[in-house]
């Protein structure tokens, strides 16, 4: 029996993570292009909608919250409309905004992406890079000294807007070391020495080569060696787009983590999603290899969505299943928690023989499920692993429950709306009411 994937995800704990970094207001202006401007050879975007979302470190925080972590966000905003909008949007998502510090004369960075038919045609940036005000830095350090002990891990999201100054970083690493709290870094810039003391630094391929001052054809091991010489970190994780991720330890031992082929719609924010998943996994004390595999899946799901996507626990689970059909197989009613608040069609399979009648029933259920999930429960008497694997591989089957009796006690988590019984299996439509 393939080990239930939920057993891995179940190890993700209710952790509290401090996210520290640059805040950006992400704006998405969507519309259609139907003609070229008579004023210049440029497309005319007929705008249909405009949406706004906290970006940068804000997007990391949103992804962590969506994955189930408790998050404290610390960053800088200006006394302007964009800064007020970020604060409002976070409050609307029930974030505590005490960690948002206002710097006078600071222009809150704003990125407006113009999108026509799901394709980004241009991005307009409004920003003025200024270092953090010294008095404000002292306030932030004081805030961190009082609150840092409440957290399991610190995630730094550096977008190079001037908030994470070398002096602030030095103080953050000093406080973290004093309290034995691990720090993860999504870096920016040419100098990684400012991140010395990090548990893990996660540059993308271009950032790694730039910081190592290496030519693009240099071996990745050479890049890693130079970065380890420059910064005293425990691990270096280089994200490499379609090549997946590569992890280096201090001894330069290497592990490659390939990524499944995805339909790329928009790469915006995929790095934020990866950082969030890695932070959650490490804070939960999952093995680093497992954590990176989950981050690969989460960031792969993010690029299939338009804009900065928030990836949830359920999204990651379905991503695991998509990459491994046998991962549909579960051995316990943990599935009730995973499919929280989703409508489900349940087939109770009692016939141990593979028959056309059984497959007709599964096909019928698959066709009528609509947006519901199709779950097949195999009775405890059926221990034929090949049979179970065959059911899991069938198109339209979302999950298979095997060797777990569906007792009346277990079914208290669900409201049965309709039951149709046949000689070899019964079909139940139910609404998950797991609490």
Catalytic positions are 272
Strand, coil or helix: 276: helix
Is 135 exposed, middle or buried, given 0-12, 13-18 or 19+ CB atoms closer than 10 A?
Answer: exposed
Question: What residues form DSSP beta bridges with 430?
Answer: 344, 416
Q: Which two tokens stand for residue 424?
A: 């070899």
Q: Give CA 318 to chain center in angstroms.
A: 13
Sheet order of strands, 119-126 included: 43-56, 23-36, 110-116, 119-126
Question: What residues form DSSP beta bridges with 23?
Answer: 56
Looking up tokens 């139940």 gives: 428
Looking up tokens 């007792």 gives: 407
Is 174 exposed, middle or buried, given 0-12, 13-18 or 19+ CB atoms closer than 10 A?
Answer: exposed
In 3D, which of 211, 215, 253 has the Cα closest to residue 229? 211
Q: Which two tokens stand for residue 414?
A: 């669900």
Concatenate the DSSP letters of all residues of 79-121 into one string: SSHHHHHHHHHHHHTT--GGGEEEETT----EEEEEEETTEEE
Q: Between β-strands 110-116 and 23-36, what pairing exists: parallel, antiparallel or unpaired?
A: parallel
Looking up tokens 């109770």 gives: 348
Strand, coil or helix: 71: strand
DSSP secondary-structure letter at 267?
-
Helix H or strand E segment including 392? helix 385-393
């Amino acid at each position: 029996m393939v080990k239930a994937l939920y057993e891995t995800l179940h190890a993700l704990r209710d952790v509290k993570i401090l996210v520290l970094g640059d805040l950006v207001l992400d704006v998405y202006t969507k519309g259609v292009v139907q003609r070229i401007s008579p004023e210049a050879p440029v497309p005319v975007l007929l705008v249909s909608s405009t949406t706004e979302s906290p970006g940068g470190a804000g997007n990391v925080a949103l992804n962590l919250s969506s994955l189930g972590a408790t998050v404290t966000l610390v960053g800088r905003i200006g006394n302007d409309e964009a800064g007020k909008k970020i604060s409002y949007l976070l409050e609307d998502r029930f974030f505590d905004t005490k960690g948002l510090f206002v710097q006078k004369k600071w222009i809150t960075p704003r990125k407006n992406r113009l999108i026509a038919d799901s394709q980004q045609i241009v991005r307009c940036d409004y920003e003025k890079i200024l270092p953090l005000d010294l008095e404000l830095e002292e306030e932030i350090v004081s805030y961190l000294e009082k609150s840092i002990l409440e957290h399991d891990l610190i995630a730094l999201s550096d977008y190079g807007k001037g908030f994470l100054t070398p002096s602030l970083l030095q103080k953050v690493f000093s406080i973290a070391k004093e309290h034995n709290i691990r720090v993860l870094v999504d870096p920016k810039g040419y100098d990684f020495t400012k991140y010395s003391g990090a548990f893990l630094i996660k540059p993308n391929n271009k950032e790694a080569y730039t910081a190592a001052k290496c030519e693009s054809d240099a071996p990745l091991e050479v890049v890693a060696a130079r970065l380890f010489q420059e910064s005293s970190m425990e691990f270096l994780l280089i994200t490499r787009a379609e090549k997946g991720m590569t992890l280096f330890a201090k001894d330069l031992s290497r592990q490659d983590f390939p990524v499944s082929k995805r339909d790329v719609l928009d790469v915006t924010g995929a790095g934020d999603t990866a950082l969030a998943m890695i932070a959650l996994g490490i804070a939960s004390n999952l093995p680093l290899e497992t954590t990176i595999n989950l981050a690969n899946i989460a960031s792969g799901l993010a690029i299939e969505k338009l804009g900065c996507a928030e990836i949830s626990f359920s999204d990651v689970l379905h991503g695991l299943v998509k990459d491994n059909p046998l991962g549909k197989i579960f051995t316990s009613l943990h599935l009730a928690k995973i499919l929280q608040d989703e409508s489900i069609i349940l087939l109770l399979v009692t016939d141990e023989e593979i028959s056309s009648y059984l497959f007709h029933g599964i096909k019928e259920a698959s066709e009528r499920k609509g947006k519901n999930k199709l779950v097949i429960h195999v009775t405890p008497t059926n221990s034929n692993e090949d049979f179970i694997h065959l059911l899991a591989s069938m198109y339209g089957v979302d999950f298979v429950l095997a060797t777990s009796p569906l007792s009346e006690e277990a079914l208290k988590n669900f409201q049965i709306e309709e039951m149709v019984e046949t000689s070899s299996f019964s079909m139940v439509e139910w609404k998950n009411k797991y609490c």
